[in-house]
A and B are shown apart, each in its own frame.
Chain A
Amino acid sequence: MSATPTQAKVVVIGAGIVGNSLAYHLARLGWKDIVLIDKGPLPNPGGSTGHASNFIFLTDHSKEMTLFTLDSVKQYQDLGVFTQSGGIEVARTQERVEELKRRMASSKSWGIDSELLTPAQVKELVPFINEEIILGGFSTPGIGTVDSLRGGTLMREKAQAMGALTVLPLTEVSGIEVDRGRVRAVRTSKGDIQADTVVISSGIWSPRIARMAGASIPLSPAVHQMISVGPVPLFADTVGEIKYPIIRDMDVNGYERQHGSDMEVGSYDHRPILWDPENIPSIEQAKLSPTELPFTKEDFDESLEHALELMPEILGNPKIGIRHAINGLLSLTPDGFPLLGETSEVRGLWSVTAIWIKEAPGIARAVAEWMTQGVSEIDASGSDIARFYDHQKTKAHIDARCAEGFNKTYGIVHPREQWASNRNVRLSPFYQREQELGAVFFETAGWERPNWYESNRTLLKEYGDRVMPRRYEWEARWWSPIINAEHLAMRDRVGMVDLSAFAVFDVTGPGALGYMQKMCVVQMNVPAGRVVYTSLLNPAGGIKADLTVMRLGEHHFRVVTGGMDGMRDKKWFTDHLPEDGSAQLSDLTSSWATLGVWGPRARDLVQSVTSADMSNAGFPFGTCRAIAIGPVRVIASRISYVGELGWEIYVPFEEGARVWDQLWDAGQRHGVAPVGIGVYATTGRLEKCYRAYGNELEQEFNLVECGLARPQVKKEDFVGKEAYLKQRAEPAAITLCTLTIDDNISKSGFKRYPQGREPIMTPNGRPLVDRHGRRSYITSAGSGPSVGKTILMSYLPPEHAKVGTKFCVEYFGEQYAATVAVVGPTPIFDPENTRVKS
């Protein structure tokens, strides 16, 4: 046993697959004095790794998770602990057959070799399956199983062999010392260890450990039931642990996986059984291990019946028995994604939690890179723990969403599907008015935002087929043609859009300008009253954020960013604040409500409620200033994300309803329509080819590729500048283009509408891959009612990025021809931007 060091460069808490992988990758990247501790014994300290079923399905609709998984498989293969078995997701319902086609598309988007099988083809691979109850399968030969305990041990040993790692099992953390917001030391049962960097990779125990430091890791332990049935006579001659493909019985949320002579049957079908992190048994209290709780049979009975139906030949044999059964604990998060990165509350305290076996080594590599260079090769933004707002860290929210998400593990989740639990948390001052207008609310970061208004149903008659009605249920789900009618009404007259979900940060102080220059790509030394649209880069020149900044005074900037990105962006800004305190950041999100007023009649409308000069000369595009609307002083900012004349109006929260009423009443003369986020975030912006963070803009793309590089680079230094200059000097590896679909009509005669993330291929179905190995896929898709086309955005390799080039999009197993309409950022609608500048 090693003696406890009193000092370390980094302490990693938790020696499951995550902690072991992370220790290895840190060592590989040159870290020394790494200490890995666990309260349990090694190699199986008793966490979720120890009871995992250890199989790896490759395809996920999320690119981020798929890339982590693919990288993990490669690492497991290199360690010699991966056994390829193949795996098949089977469909029992027609709805699932369709979903499997969608998964097939995701496989193509992310470059995975998969195929759709008939029941007979599934039977050929899995002779014991009851092919009569399935309608088909989605097969991925690259699927397999892994010995995660062995893999973890090997990685730990590699780090030890490099002389970089001290391992301390049977060492329990009793406290984490924090001084002025920075982690300083870890207190353990074997003594204190001073360290400026501490990583929590403690799985289900993580919330408890984070709390010791005053930080929050919003996950909940949850039960996943699993049984092992055997001995199966058919498996008697299996060499190694698996011979037959793993089956996921998607429609009943179950899986069957051979494990030596046994079949493991697992389920995500039972009621959600959440477990309080404070109430996990100790190693002494637990019969098997703290994460293997007593099996509750009645919860599993339905799954037994399903398994028996699917594999009666094996599982119906009265001679084989249930030899092992557990309620295994694993980690769930409110949005289903892992929790990675430095916590927002404590500098130097990192979370690497809520991770499955399938993605652990890939995530560990990414986080180690992030800790070392500030940026990872695979963009982990979707999993960044900094994404959570305070309300999302409450037990009420965590429990509600984890419970709701549990049964979606194998679910068919629509890309626009809304959460049902814990709604109505953040309400704008316009909420009451919106409700009266029949708003259909979608949630963004807790905000209830109207996606469309039923009161606009009358517009459907006015616009007829121009609203591009969707007759196929999937695309009509979580959608309404009213969105497109609102779009047209806005383009014809004027619309009011609630944008209160914006995150708003004020940067003030004598160092504000210098600081903003350092953060932003675009020149910030502009006259007060100017609005600047800018990107923020990471040190490698990847796109970290995309936002607007108002300069309100000599030492006063106001940053406005998307609600989804708000907390991540806030952490990025906060982390870079000058040490000398010469600039401060305050979060004013809850102080300012925002109302967008846009459309050809926006000036007439706003002018009618203010004495300020709203003329083009008096209030030019790209400027902002305080004006009075009746008795309320607001800040009007003349920009637009929908490509129309108009303003974003920032109003003190408590005065918001008053301003809404004034604009609404005055707007009646101008044919004002309340307009939802369906227009703002999709149709309006897509016609203008405006990029959206998280869709087109990611850390894995750069400004040259996405077409946001400006002709000039400012002389002042900024984060990522060096990389950016290099990117500009090279030919782009991939270029963001806008395409339109030539013909939406499917074989069934329905018009179909891709939703985004589908693969885009050559007309003969070959994938498009750039020189870095990135595949082309649709980053955003939506209606363009004013141009009468379905609009798609996709990055294309330069040889394909030419106007008029034909491609095909695979959508639910059919190919649709699409043509490049624009290369780069030129809008499809109003390419000269005459509207916004009129």
Chain B
Amino acid sequence: MNVLVCIKRVPATGGHIALTPDGQNIDTRYLGFTISPHEECAVEEAVRLIEKHGGSSTVLTLGPEVATEQLRDAMALGMDRAVLLETDGREWDPVATTDAIVAAIERDRAAGRDYDLLLFGNESADSAGYQVGVRVAAALDLPCVTGIKALEIREGKAAVRRQTESGWETSEVTVPAVLTVKEGINLPRYPSLPGRLKAKKKEIERSRPQWVDGGLEKVRLSLPVQAAHTVEMLGQNGDVGPQVVELFRRLRLL
């Protein structure tokens, strides 16, 4: 089977997020970049599917040249092929992003590569639009399940589960299908040394989609009011055991 995973390069933030003075971006001077966590799980899921069922996996991103870092990260984890839809670094809105991805998928199809599964993250870690996966499904007229936390391929169909407030929702979709994945579906592996070195040498296929004016525009970012943290020292050394147990009880961890 052929699996496509679409990922996005996002800042790897810590607990505290700082914005640039103009409010246009996250201040990334001291940050690294990563694959959005949901998408990292999608990559892991794709690698497992191919390990189990055979076939080929492709990772795709729309982003600037530096986003090749995330494509290689995905290949280090076992993805076979990478596609960069190269931009000049501006943020593309979900509609434009969808158009570019759909065009790429159609180019692949024309070249004889049909995807059985198109995996997305449920939402990106930075802009969190929740849109691209759904829009791609609509554009390609494919079935779509969002927010899945379990996936199994059975007799040419995808059995998926979503977690809801009250329990699990199970569905089955025919492939090809679009699935948007949520963190928790698996525990992504770490890259191995040979994986990392192999990924470094692999080709990345590139194309440059045309920027289209209009669409959703970012006005500015602002931070939500952050809850002030207080630290309470329970004590030091071994004599705080009972207090820790009491605290865990209070938090219903025990």
Q: Which residues from chain A sit less than 8 Å from chain B, CB to CB?
A: 229, 281, 284-288, 293-295, 297, 301, 304-305, 307-308, 315-323
In whole Å, how far is A147's beta carbon from the nearest beta carbon of chain B?
16
Contact flag A321-B14 (CB < 8 Å), given A301-B196, A304-B196: no
A10 to B104, CA, bound (A): 67
- With contacts A284-B18, A315-B193 known, what are 18 further pairs, Cβ within 8 A? A229-B193, A287-B14, A294-B12, A294-B30, A294-B32, A297-B69, A297-B196, A301-B197, A301-B200, A304-B196, A308-B194, A317-B192, A318-B192, A319-B192, A320-B190, A321-B189, A321-B192, A322-B193
Within the assembled complex, what's the spacing in Å between the Cα atoms of A285 and B191?
Answer: 26
User: Distance (Å) between the CB of B182 and the closest chain A CB?
Assistant: 22
Instruction: Report how far A318 CA is from B192 CA in the complex, Å.
Output: 5
Query: B30: which A residues are within 8 A, CB to CB?
Result: 281, 285-287, 293-294
Cβ-based interface call for B195 (8 A): yes
CB distance from B26 to the nearest CB of A (A): 11
Query: Nearest chain-B residue to A285 (Cβ)?
Result: B30
Residues facing A in B1-22 (CB within 8 A) are: 12-14, 16, 18
Tell me if B154 counts as interface (CB < 8 A to partner A).
no
Q: Is B27 an interface residue (CB 8 A)?
A: yes
Q: Out of B14, B29, B197, B200, name the residue touching A288 (CB < 8 Å).
A: B14
B117 to chain A, nearest CB (A): 24
Contact A287/B13 with A301-B196, A301-B197 known, Cβ cut-off 8 Å:
yes
Residues in B with CB closer than 8 Å to A293 are 30
Q: Are A281 and B29 in contact (CB under 8 A)?
A: yes
Alpha-carbon distance A745/B145, docked complex (angstroms): 82
Complex-state Cα separation, A752 to B69, whole angstroms: 52
Contacts of B244 in A (CB 8 A): none
Tell me, yes or no, whether B234 is within 8 Å of chain A by CB: no
Q: How far is the CB of B225 from chain A (nearest CB, A)?
A: 16
**30 A/B residue pairs, CB under 8 Å, sorted by A:** A284-B18, A285-B16, A285-B18, A285-B27, A285-B29, A285-B30, A286-B14, A286-B30, A287-B30, A287-B31, A287-B32, A288-B14, A294-B12, A294-B30, A294-B31, A294-B33, A301-B196, A301-B200, A304-B196, A304-B197, A308-B194, A308-B197, A315-B193, A316-B194, A320-B190, A321-B189, A321-B190, A321-B192, A322-B192, A323-B190
Contacts of A284 in B (CB 8 A): 16, 18
Candidates B13, B18, B29, B191; contact of A322 at CB < 8 Å: B191
Alpha-carbon separation in the docked complex, A295 to B31 (Å): 9
Cα A323 to Cα B31 in complex, Å, equals 18
User: Which residue of B has the minimal Cβ distance to A314?
Assistant: B193
Chain B nearest CB from A252 CB (Å) reads 14
Give every chain A residue within 8 A of B196 (Cβ-Cβ): 297, 301, 304, 322
Q: How many Å from the CB of A4 to the closest CB on chain B?
A: 18
For A323, the chain B residues whose CB sits under 8 A away are: 190
Q: How distant is the Cα of A571 from the Cα of B197 in the complex, in angstroms? A: 53
Q: In the complex, which residues of chain A have a beta carbon less than 8 angstroms from the beta carbon of B194?
A: 308, 316, 318
CB neighbours (8 Å) of B27 from chain A are: 285
| B197 & A287 in contact (Cβ 8 Å cutoff) | no
Residues of A close to B29: CB separation below 8 A: 281, 285
Q: Which residues on B sit within 8 Å (CB–CB) of A295?
A: 32
Residues A304 and B16 in contact, CB atoms below 8 Å apart: no
Mask, B179-195, CB within 8 Å of A = 1, is 00000000001111111
Q: How far is the CB of A243 from chain B (nearest CB, A)?
A: 21
CA distance A319 to B27 in the complex (A): 35
Give A227's nearest chain B residue, CB to CB.
B193
Please give, as numbers and ranges, the residues of chain A lying within 8 Å of B192 by CB-CB distance: 317-322
**B69 contacts across to A, CB distance below 8 A:** 297
Closest 4 CB pairs of A and B: A321-B190, A294-B32, A287-B14, A281-B30
What chain A residues lie within 8 Å of B33 (beta carbons)? 294
Separation of A708 and B97 alpha carbons in the complex (Å)? 83
Neighbouring B residues of A320 by C-beta, 8 Å: 190, 192
Task: Report the nearest A residue to B190, measured CB to CB.
Answer: A321
**Bound CA span A285–B30, Å:** 7
- With both beta carbons as reference points, the residue of chain B lying nearest to A281 in the complex is identified as B30
Closest to A280 in B: B30
Residues of A within 8 A of B14 (CB): 286-288
Least Cβ distance of B56 to chain A in Å? 18
Interface residues of B in 193-213 (CB under 8 A from A): 193-197, 200
Q: How far is the CA of A297 from the CA of B196 in the complex (A)?
A: 9
- Structural contact, A316 and B31, CB atoms closer than 8 A: no
In whole Å, how far is B43's beta carbon from the nearest beta carbon of chain A?
14
Contact status A321-B197, CB under 8 Å:
no
